[in-house]
Structure 1
Amino acid sequence: MTEAFMTVGSAEREFTAALRDFARRECGTREQRDALTAETGGPHSPTLYAKLAELGWLGVCLPEEYGGAGGGMTDACLFLRETARGLVPAGGFVTSVITAKAYERFGSAAQRKAAVGGAVAGQVLSIAMSEPEAGSDVGALRCRAEQQPSGGWLVNGHKTWISNAHLAEYILLVARTGSGDSKHEGLTMFHVPAAAPGIEVRGIETMGGREVNDVYFTDVHLPADAVVGRVGGAWQQLMAGLNAERLFLAANMLGLSERILEDTLTYVRGREQFGRPVGSFQALRHRLADLATEIECARLLVFDVAAKCDAEPDRLFPREASMAKLKATETAKHAALEGMQMMGGYGYATEYDMERHLRAAVVSTVYGGTSEIQRDIIGKSYGL
């Protein structure tokens, strides 16, 4: 897909071109990607991630005072789109940048230096919210942090489906510290070194490899200054980050959708049946036309919301961010299913990337707020 119709400046075009060149050189072949992902058994390569840090790209939307580039949401979306499109194994970036943005808004000076500066330098960050009985319903969290006479905190509980906890230097923990009239009251964020005594990380094997984990906290002692933001204020702090979380996930899946379309086109142009390329048959040609149109709609939506966020950085866009996340992730899932169908049996073969694309796309409609939750948020924004 071309960029002629995208309203970007020369700096954005140069950034996009540099990202594409990097992806071609470093992980442009299946052999390169297999070798890189073998490092962790999942979609993250510490070796390649270190190269991205050296280039200064991991701080694309983080403050200059911590080594970042000081860019905005559009810059972050360009990075996420192109790394996904280029199949760059930098799976730790999404959780790291989402978590770093929370530290940027609410962390102390020392916390920001450690977490935001660490993310820019190539450290992975993770955020721990979900529990066995609390997924979409964040207010049902039971993992508890009790204040000690010394002023510190004692944490006990079980978190699950925690992305990149096994790679993380720091975990941003959301735990219950009290109660109130609302179930969302009494939640607090904590800055937790992942190597702190009492923390156990157990991988959850999934179709996508090693990405998510159970994290157990057993008598984990935290100092008084481990609180991020305000005691009891985690719910409001989480809401303040929804623009970034949903938009970043949307940009990531936009890039994957575009890669799926490119891979499908390559296949149907080269595969012949009945004496001609299968892409020349009207049934496939029309399906590809519809798919390309849907991806273009997702692209326009994602970057429109990013531009709105950049224009008004202190304003929440819950409806628009949910729309972007819903559209981009559902489009990616649809694209992968269509690509697999059009490739026939080869779509299921591990020698091609399509089956990997499907595994990556399907789960995107679940994490970061399911499609059903996004639809509910959008509906409520209209007073329904």
Structure 2
Amino acid sequence: MEWSDEQRSLVEAVRDFCRREVGTREQRQNLTNGGREPHSPELYRRMADLGWLGLSLPEEFDGGGAGMTELCLFLEETARAMAPIGGFTTSIIVAATYQRFGTPAQKKLILSGVARGVIEAVAMSEPEAGSDVANLSCRAERRDDGYVVNGQKTWCSNAHLAEHILLVARTSGRAGDHHGLTMFLVPATAPGLTVSGIDTMGGREVNDLYFTDCVLPADAVVGEVDNGWRQLMAGLNMERLILASIMLGTAQRAFDDVVEYVKNRRQFRRPIGSFQVIRHRLADLATEIECARLLVYDTAAAVDRSPDTMLPRESSMAKLKATETARRVALDAMQMMGGYGYTTEFDMERLVRSSIVSTVYGGASEIQREIIAKTYGLSDRML
């Protein structure tokens, strides 16, 4: 792939910053409460000061005005460095939604906030509605000059860190209908909203949200009432590429770490990397990573050429390939490292955990395969 001078400079700057700030395990442990917190406010503020958090946002909202390709480069490099900026993913996805559908006041509030380091979250999944988004039942009922929200959301990433939550709730119809969903801007401190953390192997990342007679003003609506489904679909290119880029960086980090390990680990009086079975496994993994990289950046370039064009096949392929590749690389790397790959002394066990869950969130691998198949005219309706 050929990068412009500006793109190469961005990569070099991010790589140099990460090398200095999070280049050692000790530095990352100090920033994350011993590895228990996936987000470091301190590091995040420094990146905001450098203008990187608003990299892809419009200049009028204190952003850098860059494209999808530059955002993917930033995400790949920070993931490769294991930089603890877990709040960025949801924030930039939410910002893109407001950029498309928000009012001028909403855009200024959210986009400018993200650029200076404010964290945003999105509440979509429910206990009975994960991959089946149309089955949402959390309801926002019109009352007087506003709305009253009741229901539960789950798996809400970064809600405990966020200043606002982009809520997707049902305003008409019944569970199962695509029509009748609406987006709302909800302050994280809104009366009637309770945020409760869910313990996971990755630390404090996701939350349950409980809405009990939570009152929202009419101007909390983001976009059009009852048209939230179309608005959700409009953001899938970006969401899938963001997740793919992060896992591309994760796969590369796992590969880099295991290569370094097998060059130095000796068994039977020789480095284990000298054994053909190890060399060939690593050659296969390197090839898979490069295939994923080409797919991610080819899709990112297509988005930059036509930002409003839906690319369900390409974006789903990128997310599927990158996440499945990251999982394979991390698991194979753990095995090649033997027992050390399983200990918390090394980073590999964390790379394994993050890569495995990546095939679930943001649309599981099975969902991505369904979407890809449908673009070829293949579905169960053929029966």
Q: Could you state the TM-score of these two structures normalised by the residue count of structure 1?
A: 0.97
The aligned counterpart of 1:147 is 142
The aligned counterpart of 1:200 is 194
Larger deviation, residues 174-183 vs 118-127 = 174-183
Give the distance between the partners of 2:250 and 2:174, measured in 1 at CA: 42
Give the distance between the partners of 1:359 and 1:248, measured in 2 at CA: 18
The aligned counterpart of 1:290 is 284
The aligned counterpart of 1:98 is 93
Give the distance between the partners of 2:104 and 2:6, measured in 1 at CA: 31
Is the CA contact (8 Å cut-off) linking 2:134 and 2:177 kept in structure 1?
yes
Q: Residues 225-257 of structure 1, C-alpha deviation per residue, up to 9 Å, x if partnerless?
A: 000000001000000000000010000000010
Give the distance between the partners of 1:127 and 1:326, measured in 2 at CA: 22
CA apart distance, 1:42:
2.0
Is the CA contact (8 Å cut-off) linking 1:61 and 1:68 kept in structure 2?
yes
The aligned counterpart of 2:253 is 259
- From 112, 127, 133, give the equivalent of 1:132: 127
Amino acid across the alignment from 2:27: Q
The aligned counterpart of 2:185 is 191
Give the distance between the partners of 2:58 and 2:215, measured in 1 at CA: 30
- Counterparts of 1:340-355 in structure 2, within 5 Å, are 340-355=334-349
1:26 aligns with 2:11: no
Give the distance between the partners of 2:99 and 2:280, measured in 1 at CA: 46
Q: Residues 255-301 of structure 1, C-alpha deviation per residue, up to 9 Å, x if partnerless?
A: 01000000000100000011110001000000000000000000000
The aligned counterpart of 2:206 is 212
Give the distance between the partners of 2:253 and 2:280, measured in 1 at CA: 19
CA apart distance, 1:179:
1.1
The 1:80/1:184 distance shift into structure 2, 3 A limit, reads same
* 1:16 partner SS: helix
The aligned counterpart of 1:119 is 114
Q: Residues 81-118 of structure 1, C-alpha deviation per residue, up to 9 Å, x if partnerless?
A: 00000111000111100010000000001111111111
- Counterparts of 1:1-384 in structure 2, within 5 Å, are 6-38=1-33, 41-149=36-144, 151-179=145-173, 183-384=177-378
User: Can you give the 5+ residue segments of structure 1 that lack an aligned partner in the other structure?
Assistant: 1-5
Amino acid across the alignment from 2:159: A
The 1:207/1:39 distance shift into structure 2, 3 A limit, reads closer
Is the CA contact (8 Å cut-off) linking 1:40 and 1:210 kept in structure 2?
no
The 1:39/1:213 distance shift into structure 2, 3 A limit, reads farther
User: Can you give the 5+ residue segments of structure 2 that lack an aligned partner in the other structure?
Assistant: 379-383
Is the CA contact (8 Å cut-off) linking 1:269 and 1:277 kept in structure 2?
yes
Give the distance between the partners of 1:14 and 1:195, measured in 2 at CA: 40
The 1:39/1:233 distance shift into structure 2, 3 A limit, reads farther
CA apart distance, 1:181:
11
Is the CA contact (8 Å cut-off) linking 1:188 and 1:227 kept in structure 2?
yes
* 1:220 partner SS: strand
Give the distance between the partners of 1:39 and 1:101, measured in 2 at CA: 32
Give the distance between the partners of 2:315 and 2:221, measured in 1 at CA: 28
Is the CA contact (8 Å cut-off) linking 1:162 and 1:212 kept in structure 2?
yes
Identical-pair percentage = 63
Amino acid across the alignment from 2:89: V
Give the distance between the partners of 1:66 and 1:190, measured in 2 at CA: 21
Give the distance between the partners of 1:132 and 1:39, measured in 2 at CA: 31
CA apart distance, 1:39:
8.4
- Considering only aligned residues, what root-mean-square deviation do their CA atoms show, in Å? 1.1
CA apart distance, 1:121:
0.7
CA apart distance, 1:305:
0.1
Q: Residues 42-92 of structure 1, C-alpha deviation per residue, up to 9 Å, x if partnerless?
A: 210000000010000001111111000011100110010000001110001
Give the distance between the partners of 2:349 and 2:206, measured in 1 at CA: 20
CA apart distance, 1:7:
1.2
Amino acid across the alignment from 2:83: V
The 1:181/1:129 distance shift into structure 2, 3 A limit, reads closer
Amino acid across the alignment from 2:127: P
Is the CA contact (8 Å cut-off) linking 1:305 and 1:320 kept in structure 2?
yes
* 2:313 partner SS: helix
Is the CA contact (8 Å cut-off) linking 1:198 and 1:220 kept in structure 2?
yes
Amino acid across the alignment from 1:69: G
* 1:192 partner SS: strand
* 2:154 partner SS: strand
CA apart distance, 1:198:
1.2
Give the distance between the partners of 1:286 and 1:159, measured in 2 at CA: 45
Is the CA contact (8 Å cut-off) linking 1:39 and 1:45 kept in structure 2?
no
CA apart distance, 1:41:
3.2
The 1:267/1:112 distance shift into structure 2, 3 A limit, reads same
